[in-house]
């Protein structure tokens, strides 16, 4: 049986084809209308009305588009429909464009292996449920299904390096608004650029299916450029969960709007968030990196400060940062990260050995919920001091250091990536909060920036303001050493040193023996 001429709506409604895994097609009417329009198939009057409501009022495409971007709310059947489309593109592929022995690939790209596996399970389900399609399966691995018509459905994480070199007959971007990479500030754009040449040779379609997030990135740009416009090559549609999934409980959406209106607009109503902005540009962070320096050795002329971001060991990493100050520059010396799962006590012992190298006997850290942190460090002979700054305050206090170039970072892709992925968010109270993006992490960034903002200042005015502690003077600095030698040789004088206004107010040198 040849499937080349089967239309996508027929396949989704046919109980012997994709309909076997989809079930009753009535609740999938909006999806079917969009998929038909993207392929320039005739629409009924009802389907045209549905299409206009989600496409910004534009006319249906007159020919098959090269790209389809569907921006929808949560629980709209995105992953399930991504699996159905992947199977359809594979079983109806035009093999005349392939060379002898060449395999055409349908790529399903997702933010993580877990998410990609979710789509893959739907792909397998659609194939195995159909009495016709099941017979096309030749082989199946954990991330690829080979079919008898020389096509393969492959799942991958969104990495522009690993998808090159394949013959791609269709590419599906699943939840592209949430793709994160510590190696790049725009992984979605880089993957898009990597896959386009392969699609061009096969006339393959790119299908993006995602919930929206911030007003940036590939998905937002596609929406800004093509939504509501009669673009002959790109179709962009947008709608909330209730439009795509009329069976959803409206009370769930209403409660989400009460708790966090801005987040609910994105997650359930399909709108891009307006309360998010990039904390700092990646290029600025990269300019602060001392290339090739992954860790600095201990030097007795510096006084070192440490900051710890603890973790219980089940999910998040536990991290440690060590820093010192050279004049106006806060210098990062060491980063330690232990990824979950781990035994917290063993990690504290490992961190203590690093602290010993830098002659550090106390460490500042997050106000972790639980006393085990301070107890564990105490057993290792280290005092644990809870920071007066919250995580967000650490980031906000570190921003002037980063923007002014007053920080020296280590050569760590993970550190740079985590700092660059931080987001500034305006709360309903009007205050700014900084945190990692959805789906990203910031444990390394927190430890490193925490160490930098907690390092004592060498400037007298700053030192006096820090709880009236004595000023910190790095006499080991070459310039300060020379100055000390000059002062020792100079004859006694009653004049006060330039720039120094006498003893600090808490100390009367006349009473010093």
**Residue 97 predicted with pLDDT over 80:** no
* In a domain? residue 186: yes
- When mean pLDDT is compared across 219-233, 309-323, 461-475, the lowest value belongs to 461-475
Q: How confident is the model at residue 314 (pLDDT cuts 50, 70, 90)?
A: confident
Backbone angles phi, psi at 278, to 5 degrees: -70, 135
Query: Does some domain include residue 32?
Result: yes
Are 87 and 136 within 8 A, CB to CB? no
Examine residue 421 and state whether it is found in any structural domain, yes or no.
yes
pLDDT band at 480 (very low <50, low <70, confident <90, very high): very low
User: Rounded distance, CA 101 to CA 104, Å?
Assistant: 10
Q: Select from 42, 41, 72 the least CA-distant residue to 55.
A: 72
239 and 316 co-located in one domain: no
73 touches 268 (CB < 8 A)? yes
Q: Does residue 512 form part of some domain?
A: no
Span 346-402, pLDDT tens digits = 999 999 999 999 999 999 998 875 678 989 999 999 999 999 999 999 999 999 999
Q: How many CA atoms, within 13 angstroms, populate the side-chain half-sphere of residue 57? A: 0
For residue 332, give the 3-state DSSP assignment.
strand
Residue 497's pLDDT is: 28
Report percent pLDDT > 90 for the chain.
60
Rounded Cα distance between 330 and 324, Å, is 6
Work out how many domains the chain is built from and give that number.
2
User: Is 511 a domain residue?
Assistant: no
Q: Tokens 């209106």 map to which residue?
A: 261
Higher per-residue confidence, 184 vs 50: 50
The predicted pLDDT at position 183 comes to 64
Q: Are strands 137-140 and 362-365 parallel, antiparallel or unpaired?
A: unpaired
Whether residue 468 lies inside any domain: the answer is no
Say which CATH number the domain at 75 has.
3.40.50.300
The predicted model gives 320-335 an average pLDDT of 96
pLDDT value at residue 25: 84
Q: Is the pLDDT of residue 158 over 60?
A: yes
Mean pLDDT highest for which of 48-52, 246-250, 370-374? Answer: 48-52
SS3 234: strand
Helix, strand, coil proportions of the chain in percent (round to 5)? 40, 20, 40
- The sign of the CA dihedral 474, 478, 482, 485 is positive
Do 152 and 233 belong to one domain?
yes
**What is the Cα–Cα distance from 35 to 478, expressed in whole angstroms?**
70
Cβ neighbourhood burial of 380 (10 Å; 0-12, 13-18, 19+): middle
Residue 169 has pLDDT above 90, yes or no: yes
Across 273-289, average pLDDT: 87
Tokens of 504: 């600090």
What Rg value do the Cα atoms of the chain yield, rounded?
30
Residue-wise pLDDT tens digits, 120-141? 999 999 999 999 999 999 999 9
Q: CA 316 to CA 508: how far, in whole Å?
A: 50
Both 154 and 30 in one domain: the answer is: yes
Residue 400: inside a domain: yes
Q: What is the pLDDT of residue 399?
A: 94
Please report how the helices 443-454 and 391-403 are oriented relative to each other, as an axis angle in degrees rounded to 10.
70
- Does residue 292 share a domain with residue 255? no
pLDDT at 343 over 80: yes
The closest alpha carbon to 307, from 447, 136, 176, belongs to 447
Token pair listed for 19: 């309909």
Are residues 270 and 287 part of one domain? no
Chosen domain end from 400, 427, 454: 454
Residues 329 and 240 in one domain: no
| Per-residue pLDDT, 443 | 94
CATH number at residue 434: 3.30.420.240
Instruction: Calculate the alpha carbon distances from 461 to 184, 304, 509 in Å.
Output: 39, 20, 20
Tell me: do 403 and 269 sit in the same domain. no
| pLDDT(505) > 50 | no
Instruction: State yes or no: pLDDT of 144 exceeds 50.
Output: yes
204 exposure class (CB count in 10 Å sphere: 0-12, 13-18, 19+): buried
**Is residue 72 domain-shared with residue 51, that is, in the same domain?**
yes
Percent of the chain with pLDDT over 70: 86
Q: Based on the fold, state whether residues 252 and 319 are members of the same structural domain.
A: no
User: In the predicted model, is pLDDT for residue 109 greater than 60?
Assistant: yes
Spatial distance between the Cα atoms of 18 and 390, rounded to a whole number of angstroms: 51
Contacts of 231 (CB under 8 A, 6+ apart): 58, 65, 225
Residue 263 predicted with pLDDT over 50: yes
pLDDT at 291: 95
Determine the structural domain holding residue 66 and report its residue range.
8-274
Same domain, 218 and 269: yes
pLDDT of 229 higher than 70: yes
Q: Domain boundary residue among 454, 480, 505? A: 454
Residues 40 and 135 in one domain: yes
Among 406, 428, 454, residue at a domain's last position:
454
Domain contains 501: no
pLDDT at 220 over 70: yes
55 and 190 in one domain?
Answer: yes
Task: State the average pLDDT for the chain.
Answer: 85
The answer to pTM > 0.75 is no
CB atoms within 10 A of CB 439: 15
């Amino acid at each position: 049986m040849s499937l080349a001429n089967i239309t996508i709506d027929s396949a989704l409604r046919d109980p012997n084809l994709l309909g076997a895994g989809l079930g009753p097609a009535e609740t999938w009417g909006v999806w079917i209308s969009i998929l038909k329009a993207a392929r320039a198939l005739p629409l009924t009057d009802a389907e045209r009305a549905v299409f206009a409501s989600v496409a910004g009022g534009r006319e249906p495409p007159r020919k098959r588009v090269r790209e389809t971007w569907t921006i929808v709310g949560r629980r709209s059947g995105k992953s399930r429909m991504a699996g159905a489309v992947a199977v359809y593109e594979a079983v109806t592929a035009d093999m005349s464009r392939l060379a002898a022995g060449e395999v055409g690939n349908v790529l399903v790209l997702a933010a993580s292996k877990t998410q990609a596996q979710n789509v893959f399970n739907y792909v397998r389900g659609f194939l195995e449920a159909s009495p016709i399609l099941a017979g096309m399966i030749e082989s199946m691995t954990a991330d690829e299904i080979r079919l008898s018509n020389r096509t393969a459905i492959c799942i991958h994480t969104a990495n522009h390096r690993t998808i090159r070199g394949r013959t791609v007959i269709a590419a599906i971007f699943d939840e592209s608004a949430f793709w994160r990479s510590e190696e790049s500030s725009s992984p979605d754009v880089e993957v898009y650029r990597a896959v386009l040449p392969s699609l061009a040779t096969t006339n393959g379609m790119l299908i993006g299916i995602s919930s929206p997030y911030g007003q940036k990135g590939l998905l937002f740009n596609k929406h800004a450029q093509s939504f509501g416009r009669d673009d002959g090559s790109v179709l962009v549609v947008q709608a909330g969960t209730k439009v795509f999934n009329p069976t959803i409980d409206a009370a769930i959406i209403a409660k989400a709007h009460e708790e966090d209106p801005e987040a609910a607009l994105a997650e359930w109503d399909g709108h891009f968030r307006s309360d998010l902005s990039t904390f700092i540009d990646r290029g600025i962070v990269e300019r602060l990196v001392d290339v090739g320096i992954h860790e600095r050795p201990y030097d007795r002329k510096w006084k070192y400060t440490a900051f710890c971001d603890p973790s219980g060991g089940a999910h998040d990493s536990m991290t440690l940062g060590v820093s010192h100050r050279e004049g106006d520059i806060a210098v990062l010396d060491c980063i330690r990260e232990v990824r979950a799962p781990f035994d917290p006590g063993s990690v504290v012992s490992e961190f203590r050995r690093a602290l010993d190298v830098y002659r550090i006997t106390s460490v500042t850290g997050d106000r972790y919920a639980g006393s085990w942190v301070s107890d564990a460090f105490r057993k290792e002979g280290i005092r644990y001091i809870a920071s007066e700054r919250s995580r967000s305050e650490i980031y906000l206090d570190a921003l002037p250091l980063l923007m002014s170039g007053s920080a020296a970072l280590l050569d760590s892709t993970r550190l740079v990536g985590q700092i660059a992925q931080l987001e500034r968010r305006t709360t309903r109270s009007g205050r700014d909060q900084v945190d990692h993006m959805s789906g990203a992490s910031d444990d390394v960034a927190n430890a490193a920036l925490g160490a930098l903002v907690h390092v004592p200042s060498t400037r007298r005015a700053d030192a006096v303001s820090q709880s009236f502690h004595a000023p910190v003077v790095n006499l080991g600095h070459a310039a300060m050493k020379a100055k000390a030698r000059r002062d020792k040789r100079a004859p006694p004088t009653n004049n006060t040193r330039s720039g120094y206004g006498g003893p600090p107010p808490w100390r009367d040198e006349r009473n010093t023996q």
